[in-house]
Amino acid sequence: MGKKGKGRQLILPVALLILAFGIYFGYSIWQAENDLSIKKIREAAAAQAEKEQEAAVFHKESAEQDYKTVGVFISDSHEWYNQTLGWGAIGSVKWDEQKQKAGNINLVLKDIQTDNANLQADFEKISEYSNAIANGIKETQTLLKMHRYFHDLDIEFNGYKKTKDYYNITEYKASVND
């Protein structure tokens, strides 16, 4: 083989090598940009969650020890009502349990501090319903409304997205800034 034959034999491996480096380099740039976008999305979500969690806090002198944050209180209450009222259970309410839970909700609500007028209005409405149940009123519609408040607050305050149901019952919306 002459010089021309060797040169032609090197063209294909060199071209493949350049192509491989190009693909690797292009993928690396794309991956870095994608990682940066994901990081920015996560940081924005974390900032939003932190902002929402600051919308309501327990009083510093609060004796409330059951919940780390107001968001946990909302989430736990929502889950409790899912378990005790959801999936047809509202037809067989255990009123003693509901009365005790309503009393506990009232105690927790007294220890929450918020400057957000809409969130405060929602907590006042929940308090009104829980007072009725704690005082022995046996109305399933009152329980249903209280459950819906916790459901929608869990979506708005905590970013709970595991449902397509949304009752739009709360005044508080995550995008609202007071």
Q: What is the C-alpha separation between 124 and 130, in angstroms, rounded?
A: 10
Percentage of residues in the chain with pLDDT exceeding 70?
Answer: 76
Q: What is the C-alpha separation between 81 and 74, in angstroms, rounded?
A: 11
Residue 161 has pLDDT above 60, yes or no: yes
Q: Cα torsion at 104, 145, 160, 162 (round to 10°)?
A: 120
Give the mean pLDDT of 45-61: 60
Residue 154 has pLDDT above 50, yes or no: yes
Percentage of residues in the chain with pLDDT exceeding 90?
Answer: 40
- Give, in order, the Cα–Cα distances in Å from 152 to each of 7, 47, 160, 173: 71, 21, 9, 9
Q: What is the C-alpha separation between 8 and 94, in angstroms, rounded?
A: 86
pTM of the model: 0.67
State the pLDDT confidence band at 150, using cuts at 50, 70 and 90.
very high
pLDDT tens string 10-43: 787 788 888 887 887 777 777 666 666 655 555 5
